[in-house]
Amino acid sequence: MQKRANYVRALGALFALWGADYPAAYEGAQAAAVDGLAAPAPPSAAVRRRLEDEVLTLGALAATLPVESLYKPWASMSGGDGDGPAQFGAARNLLLGDSAQHMRALYDGLELEVPPAYEAMPDHVALLTEVACLYAEAGNGEAVRALLADHLDWLGAYEDALATRLATLGARPLPVAQHHDELTAALAHGRELTGALTRAIHNLSQSLR
Amino acid sequence: MQEKEALMRCNPTRRTFLKGTAATAALAAVGTCSVATWQAERAEAAGAKTQGASLCNGCSSKCGLVATTLDGRLWTVEGMEEHPYSKGTLCGRGHGTAQWAYSDGRLTQPMKRAEDGSFAPISWDDAFAEIGAKVQEILAEAGPEALAIVQDPRPSGKYYSKRFMNALGSANVYTHAAACNLSKESGIQEATGASNYSVDFPNTKMVVFIGRSYGDGIRPSSVKSLAGAADKGARVVIVDPRLNNTGIFATDWVPIKPGTDIALLLGIANVLVTNDLYDHEFIEQFTVGFPEFAAQVAEYTPAWAEGICDVPADTIVELAEALAAAAPACAIEPSWRAAFGCAYQNSFETARAVCAVNALLGCWGQKGGALITSSPKAGDVDPVKFPKVPEPAVKRVGDAEFPLALSGTGTNLAVLNGCNDGTVQGVFFYNSNAVQGYAQPAKWREALAKAKLVVTIDVQMSETALVSDYVLPECTVLERMELPEFIGGKKHYVALRTPVIDRVHPETKPCDEIFVGLAEACGVGQYFPFTIEELADAQLATVGTSLDAVREAGIVELADPGFEFGTPTFKTPTEKFQFTSAKVAEAGLNPVIGYVPRLVEPAAGEFSLIGGKQGIHSHTMTLNLEALNAISREYQLERLWMAASDAAELGIADGDTVELSSSEASGRVAVKVTERLKPGVLFLPTHYGSTSPYLTRAQGFGLNMMDFIPLHLEPAVGSTMSQEVAVTVRKVED
């Protein structure tokens, strides 16, 4: 379990911002690969930079963040005393939804702090996979199962979002035309990473049955 | 490596994004960490519910709202009962824009544009330092008059932007008015001495709307007032080429040729004067220039007016007689943007004509008529704690060329012209998407490309941000406090924006902090030695209240201004209502309120193009918001309206794609075929056609009307002449 969870963690980490250190992150993922699963090869520096700057950064040109809240209804909370549901409860593409609130509660219980850069994204895939790995290292299979089921079940929607971004890229004039090819490759690589992570999560989940 | 990025780095062999040692017992615990368990626990234990007051930022009305949070997260927003603009209701855009705090489309950190047009993050310190250096360079080479700021006024923004610019020695502070209501307010000011007025709906018997639609734009309270008047049997006349969404309250729809409302108004004036239906007492005691006006208006017969505006002479006569019968409990409504805020060459004069008709009806200050009320403002504060900024030595760019522009707003198109001729070299934009909305975007881009420095402060990467050298992210309204907002009318109030939720993105700032940072970097920080709380408290003390009191209540009613019905004091140079104006004469225009044609006359086969607001959007600001964008797409709200008879003639069916063209641009959009539009006119809602690739839901959705409009500035006023265009349309065959 621990090795499979560690591989999931290493793949989740590839969705963080590494800058010039990114090759080491891919090496880590390749070293952690298990059960014949193949970790993605590192892209070129230009593609990785485009992925980080324009896809994995909030507010960026092709921002498509692997943040759970964006792909699920925002809130199921109600006001209590029959006061009804939250105003945007059914909306998607909003940060700090229920999943983020639950993860904050988990971090509090685990005495973990969310770094400032993730303040608005406590349910970022890099953090989710890290927590899954922590539970696995503690031998808590039930917690790992729960986390996978509750918080890592949206990657299909994320890959769809990347695919949509890729498909519509051609129709959207970009400020710099020469970035188009790099951005196309970056989005395609993002889908590749998502596919690898999905397979790794499935592999981990199967092993916990 | 920036601090933010450093925090996100980790040892690749042993990652740690999360900080801390991870409580061992908690890691090992079973049955406690599922979402289902958590939700069940929360359902049983009521979440910490808090309420906070703020002012909506969905448009410039700034309606009072109450936001309720549960465990720190926004649960709902509702209109503040006591606020005179909301009266317990928030409009669609108010509810939609409340989402902004959590939107994935926000700017989250300062950005700097590279030479190739791409943007990269930059730290606040570096951004301030670089901007400060460029400002110093511009000051040294060209003086403070080469710097300017354009802002759509908000409580903090209007104070800090002016203070910042004046501290630099520049008087170049402009609002968005040239693309909104500049002509209307300047015209009303010239005639009455006040820049605006309101209709006394509770008592009115008849009201005529020229273009303005409460059902589409601004203020729930306006809709409620109108609904109340309609319920009481008031006659509500909509003069508009389009039967707009106020139609549900209307008794009459008068379809009119765009840009010719002035002819209708002068035709009505002609009937009132010729048939001796006007208020003699008011005219004799409280006006100047009536003889000259009466002599001139003699030629503006209903038949003459019909020939220009296409409203039958009989209708004009009937309207005039009905208004006279209802007088003084009647009025021509002042409008906002609509037909003469900034639309035509004759917009300023149309505003004066509106005022002239009200004068003839004797309804100024009367029950049911046109009311000029007062507004409170902060008194003087301690000049030691809040140092006075010296008046800039050089006049504002554009004031000489556009002397009739309201002094409180100026015309922001002077900035566009100034960039082109080198007079203006550094431009700041706050809460303003000038490039997309204030004049033809291509012209703005061309002008701003010549500037040495462009800085935009906004919450999203707007079209204006996209051409800026630096983009500084503001946090959204629900995350910030602002200075007090003073509200005028028959009663006076003061209200406040208070932070209702914690800042979502730590690298965003409220505008007061941004302007203070800019000021310090530009060497004028000594004029900002106070916090916003200190200033707010000091301002509120001058009106007999305090920051704590307003925070607690959300809105506080101030001392009774003592409004009474009766002829107001006209604060004009003559202290009377002005049918003639020396200032207008000095500007080279006809001093007597009279006819001015529109500039562009569509030829055969061409159409007039008019724009307008929709109830869920504000100009170019809101289209990227998820919920509001979804409504637009669901109901195809981006469509171009075309009259059924025109559509039939051109073989166009409802839903067909057409190509709309002017001398400036062409674009394709679906058509809504309707009976609610005068033939010969096309209507395009003014929220669409975003070109910012960062606004992914908005980019390429529909057409931006301003793309089609040639750049013209209204003589002596400087408004953008937003509807002076003739267009053609053809069906796009598949």
Residues near B70 by Cβ (< 8 Å), separated by ≥ 6? A77, A79, A80, A86, B47, B48, B49
Residues 6+ apart with CB under 8 A from B388: none
Task: Chain A: give the shortest CA distance to residue B509, in Å.
Answer: 15
Q: Do residues B259 and B310 make contact, with C-beta atoms less than 8 angstroms apart? A: no
Measure B218 CA to nearest chain A CA, in Å: 21
Q: Is there a domain that residue A25 lies in?
A: yes
| Chain A nearest CA to B460, separation (Å) | 8
Print burial letters for A36-52: b (CB count within 10 Å at least 16), e (below 16): eeebbebbeeebbbbbb
Cα distances from B376 to residues B63, B491, B543, in angstroms, run 17, 9, 8
B113-176+380-475+507-528 CATH fold: Rossmann fold (3.40.50)
Give the best residue of B4, B5, B16, B18 to mutate against chain A (max A CB count within 10 A): B18
Q: Do B28 and A139 touch (CB under 8 A)?
A: yes
Number of domains in chain A: 1
- Residue A189 in contact with partner chain B when CB distance is under 8 A: no
Using the beta-carbon criterion (under 8 Å), do A113 and B15 form an inter-chain contact? no
- Tell me the nearest-neighbour CA distance from B147 into chain A, angstroms: 26
Most B-contacting residue of A17, A21, A49, A58 (CB-CB within 10 A), to test interface: A58
| Phi/psi at B180 (5° precision) | -135, -90
Side-chain half-sphere of A17: how many Cα atoms within 13 Å?
Answer: 21
SS3 call for B148? strand
Split at pLDDT 50, 70, 90, the class of A178 is low
**A111 vs B461: CB contact, 8 Å cut-off?**
no
The answer to whether domain B113-176+380-475+507-528 and domain B607-711 are alike in fold is no
- pLDDT value for B11: 38
For B607-711, give the CATH class. mainly beta
Two tokens, residue B609:
């193009």
For residue B81, which phi and psi values (nearest 5 degrees)? -55, -45
How far apart, in whole angstroms, are the C-alpha atoms of residue B498 and residue B478? 7
- Tell me which chain B residue has its CA closest to the CA of residue A89: B75
**Strand B235-239, strand B666-674: pairing:** unpaired
Interchain contact, B120 vs A75, CB within 8 Å = no
Q: Give pLDDT, residue B13.
A: 41
pLDDT score of A84:
73
Examine residue A139 and state whether it is found in any structural domain, yes or no.
no
Q: How far apart are CA B462 and CA B111, in angstroms?
A: 13
The residue in chain A having the minimum alpha-carbon distance to the alpha carbon of residue B25 is A110
Query: Does residue B487 contact residue B84 with C-beta atoms inside 8 Å?
Result: yes
- For residue A58, tell me if it sits in a domain: yes
Provide the pLDDT for residue B22. 66
Cβ-nearest to A28 among B12, B71, B627: B12
pLDDT digits (tens, 9 = 90+) for B581-597: 999 999 999 999 999 99
**For A31-44, what is each residue's pLDDT tens digit?**
999 999 999 999 99
In a domain, A86, yes or no: no
DSSP per-residue codes, A23-51: HHHHHHHHHH--TT--PPPP--HHHHHHI
pLDDT tens column, A71-120: 999 987 776 666 677 777 888 899 999 999 999 999 988 889 998 889 99
Enumerate residues 29 to 48 of chain A having a beta carbon within 8 A of any beta carbon in chain B: none
Per-residue pLDDT at B615? 93
Q: Which two tokens stand for residue B505?
A: 């993105």
Report the residue of chain A nearest B72, measured CA to CA: A101
Cα distance between residue B273 and residue B700, in whole Å: 52
pLDDT lower than 70: segments of chain B: 1-16, 21-26, 28-33, 43-46
Task: Tell me the residues of chain A between 65 and 124 that have a Cβ less than 8 Å away from chain B.
Answer: 65, 70, 74-77, 79-81, 84, 86-88, 91-99, 101-102, 105-107, 109-120
Interface test with A, best of B5, B7, B17, B694 (most A CBs within 10 A): B17
Higher-pLDDT residue of A199 and B2 is A199
Beta-carbon separation of A87 and B76 below 8 A: yes
User: pTM for this structure?
Assistant: 0.95
**Domain B182-374+579-586 CATH class label:** alpha beta
Q: Using the beta-carbon criterion (under 8 Å), do A119 and B105 form an inter-chain contact?
A: no
In a domain, A130, yes or no: no
Domain ranges of chain B: 113-176+380-475+507-528, 182-374+579-586, 607-711
ipTM, interface predicted TM-score of the complex: 0.93
Percent helix, percent strand, percent coil in chain A, to nearest 5: 60, 5, 35
Residue B618 Cα to chain centre, angstroms? 8
**Residue A194, domain member (yes or no):** yes
- In Å, what is the CA distance from B408 to each residue of A18, A167, B492? 50, 48, 21
Of A53, A86, A134, the CB nearest to B120: A53
Strand, helix or coil for residue B235 = strand
| Domain assignment of residue A48, given as a range | 2-66+152-207
CB contact under 8 A, B12 and A117: no
The secondary element (H helix, E strand) that includes residue B326 is: helix B313-326
